[in-house]
Structure 1
């Protein structure tokens, strides 16, 4: 299954990612992490010059005949040095293919082309678990050729629940100029790992937030929440794009924490919820405002500088699934619930439990919700009923435009591409990643015509990258002119 997806903007990824090297410096860094976890002094790095010494006369005498101390020394026969191919005459050894005059192919060029990421390509990160093995699959999406392929992957120690991108340089590249390309991963383990996406064949993250001692890991269930680290699963992450050294996390331990990426320590811990905190999100404009949703059936908004002044909205009997700020109306936010509803609230009216509108989007939990950042009023929902639906919420009157079953199983993640308004990535329980070109749908073209500067396709090819070949697995329902749905409420909160 694929639990979550994350788009990376074009031009962010390095054209030629570095290769991970486990040198002495990297070994010392890993050793320091291990020492921090065990709260011990790091062991000194073992140098290659250390010689093996044996004790006991019998052992020395038995090994003496093999002359192991001089085993690696160059030997000479008839004044000439011996080699492993000493009996083969005229055989020349070259240290690289470039020095060999008989080899004209350059393997390095082929390898470089395989890992090259162009500035016009998007990167997509998928958190995948299969047969109890979890990993990040880093895809490259070539939009011009509708091509999606796995570039490299990263093994994870535990089931991944959430991903967040950040460009704050840390770890080995701390202090370097320019932006970075990192992904923070929240898992069933309370720790948050941060990986460098511009390095392949990684064995160890660049940073770990909330590292704990081994004995505390073993008794996680009985450990109470504290102000230093999470004691239960990390369920959501949100990076502050204005204060770039701040990362917010929400956890099943009922707390929300702010992490300082410079010191890699918890800067503040919030305890305003009484149950698991499902989601956390920084405001798009107000850089200090946080939005959180909890299994205590509430959504909360507050200024992180004044955490005692919290506004709440009651969701009734349903647990929240997703929260999203409206990028085109900064005073409003969306909430999806396990009851299949999408609610729209005004943050300026705290305590008003009646939403601006209520959309009965699915018959099962709305496990995925995203707002198109390039087309005003374009919203997508995904559900455990296996359906993906695109909505037009212009003038706060939701209308379904189209719905599809892409054969992904239960939908866990849908996300619009930040660079291309009609490219939608989706994934679910079947463990597949698909890119759906929404502009190939006539209903979508008609509904959102004139709301974006990007040219819209004029064909009905229904192009889906890597879509399943079974036509029976896809069902589409287009409304054409986007007729109103009955399961909605007007601005007064009354059912229509």
Structure 2
């Protein structure tokens, strides 16, 4: 399954990615990092073994008693704490090993690979986009970094450029260019991704380095030295770190050192990437916080949505002065309108999409749209074409809507259930706004060039030069992994619908609230 997608704009990635260098400084950093996690794993294992023994109402025999021939190895004391200065870690025996950046430098390797060809494969051109996909398969989670080349000669070629192993099931991704960790002293913007998972920590990875072993920064790591041995992890919210899954992330593009996170522990936190510490913690929700987003104009205005069926807009400098909207269902997605910074979209798990004016706190929505019969699990707003939004659902369909003048109508619908399954993530490309990346429960990534649909061209004609340039093109979907299977998705052209058909597609509209 793919739970989250994130585009990286053209030119943001380093043309020739660095190869991971395990120097002495990096060795020390990851050794300390691994030691902390090993300590946690050991405690959890001991607790599990103790619980199993109690459940079975018996004490397991020691290895020595069960197997006397192994007594000489003293395996009974294998897990005992080592004397001071002999702390065991995952890298305890690596100090005497030499790490070579390439096979050419290793004198023990005589078979040379085609490294020149490999370097050519990892090159990233200025016309390439990267697409990040948080994927879980057979209980193994990793971040796949796709390279997407839309040039005419490649016709939308897409392949996995490299991947990153993740510690737990990923729930959200957020791209940022603020430098952290090993490259924090370098000039210019970087190329990083923040990952939120079922774990309580937020990992930040450098996308310009391949074969990374550990993240460049970890937000919300608990101080193990203050934790009493044997104490259980508390899920009670606090002001320093999350105590439950991280469900959403939002980077502030104007105050670039600020990253916001939303958690199942009911809190919203602001992180200072410079210090890698929690700067503020907000507790205005009473249930899991599923989504959040910074206003594109008012840099300190934040919107949050929760399973407590509320949406809250507040200024992060004065959080007590906030506007709250009560909904009929749990919040799935939130998006500010890039064409009207005072308004925002909310999708919910009852199939609804609602559009609110943030200046009318608690008022009725400007319009309500019954977009799907099941949860609207994915939503995006086209930043280039005014009035163009897209919705995806667990019912396996993706729909493009024209919401111009607050009168939504469906333009086209695509059944993707046989290809990507339940839809969990949709996102328009920042450089080619009609290229829509889609992914879901089937674990595949598709890119749909929406502008090649005739209904889309008719609906948005005159609102974008991109639409005009694609009048002669055929319907195009780029799939990953590539295959030769025939296209089986159903299409419906909204331009040919009459009002009765629109009503059957669950369109609803309400009176707009008064402007303030």
What TM-score comes out, normalization by structure 1 length? 0.84
> Partners of 1:223 and 1:420 in 2: how far apart?
42
8 Å CA contact retained: 1:443, 1:482: no
8 Å CA contact retained: 2:203, 2:218: yes
Tell me which moved more, 105-114 or 126-135: 105-114
Residue 420 of structure 2 aligns to a residue in which SS?
coil
> Is residue 123 of structure 2 the alignment partner of residue 116 of structure 1?
yes
CA deviation after TM superposition for structure 1 residue 261, in Å = 0.3
When the two chains are superposed, the root-mean-square deviation of aligned CA atoms in Å is: 2.8
> Is residue 366 of structure 2 the alignment partner of residue 330 of structure 1?
no
> Partners of 1:471 and 1:326 in 2: how far apart?
37
8 Å CA contact retained: 1:32, 1:42: no
Partner in structure 1 of residue 472 of structure 2 = 459
Residue 131 to residue 299, structure 1, CA distance change in 2 (3 Å): same
8 Å CA contact retained: 1:221, 1:232: no
CA deviation after TM superposition for structure 1 residue 117, in Å = 0.5
CA deviation after TM superposition for structure 1 residue 492, in Å = 3.8
8 Å CA contact retained: 1:447, 1:481: no
> Is residue 474 of structure 2 the alignment partner of residue 474 of structure 1?
no
8 Å CA contact retained: 1:167, 1:180: yes
CA deviation after TM superposition for structure 1 residue 41, in Å = 10
Within a 5 Å distance, the mapping from 1:326-365 to structure 2 comes to 326-352=337-363, 354-365=364-375
What TM-score comes out, normalization by structure 2 length? 0.81
Residue 9 to residue 472, structure 1, CA distance change in 2 (3 Å): closer
Residue 451 of structure 2 aligns to a residue in which SS?
helix
> Partners of 1:491 and 1:241 in 2: how far apart?
34
> Is residue 166 of structure 2 the alignment partner of residue 159 of structure 1?
no
CA deviation after TM superposition for structure 1 residue 217, in Å = 12
Partner in structure 2 of residue 53 of structure 1 = none
CA deviation after TM superposition for structure 1 residue 439, in Å = 1.5
Residue 463 to residue 287, structure 1, CA distance change in 2 (3 Å): same
Partner in structure 1 of residue 206 of structure 2 = 196
In the alignment of these two chains, the number of paired residues is 442
> Partners of 2:178 and 2:86 in 1: how far apart?
27
> Partners of 1:127 and 1:483 in 2: how far apart?
40
CA deviation after TM superposition for structure 1 residue 450, in Å = 1.3
CA deviation after TM superposition for structure 1 residue 479, in Å = 1.8
Q: Deviations over 1:107-154 (max 9, x none)?
A: 332121110000000000000000000000000000112111000000
CA deviation after TM superposition for structure 1 residue 264, in Å = 0.4
Within a 5 Å distance, the mapping from 1:140-289 to structure 2 comes to 140-144=147-151, 145=154, 146-213=156-223, 222-289=234-301
Partner in structure 2 of residue 306 of structure 1 = 318
> Is residue 101 of structure 2 the alignment partner of residue 128 of structure 1?
no
Residue 466 of structure 1 aligns to a residue in which SS?
strand
Task: Choose between structure 1 and 2: higher helix proportion.
Answer: 2
Tell me which moved more, 21-30 or 159-168: 21-30
Partner in structure 2 of residue 7 of structure 1 = 7
Tell me which moved more, 406-415 or 466-475: 466-475
> Partners of 1:373 and 1:29 in 2: how far apart?
40
Larger Rg: 1
> Is residue 403 of structure 2 the alignment partner of residue 393 of structure 1?
yes
CA deviation after TM superposition for structure 1 residue 489, in Å = 1.1
8 Å CA contact retained: 1:35, 1:41: no
CA deviation after TM superposition for structure 1 residue 459, in Å = 3.1
Residue 462 to residue 272, structure 1, CA distance change in 2 (3 Å): same
8 Å CA contact retained: 2:235, 2:265: no
Tell me which moved more, 296-305 or 106-115: 106-115
User: Which ranges of structure 2 fall in alignment gaps of 5 or more residues?
Assistant: 41-83, 97-102, 106-110
> Is residue 384 of structure 2 the alignment partner of residue 374 of structure 1?
yes
Residue 475 to residue 107, structure 1, CA distance change in 2 (3 Å): same
> Partners of 1:161 and 1:46 in 2: how far apart?
33
Residue 219 to residue 250, structure 1, CA distance change in 2 (3 Å): farther
> Partners of 2:131 and 2:301 in 1: how far apart?
28
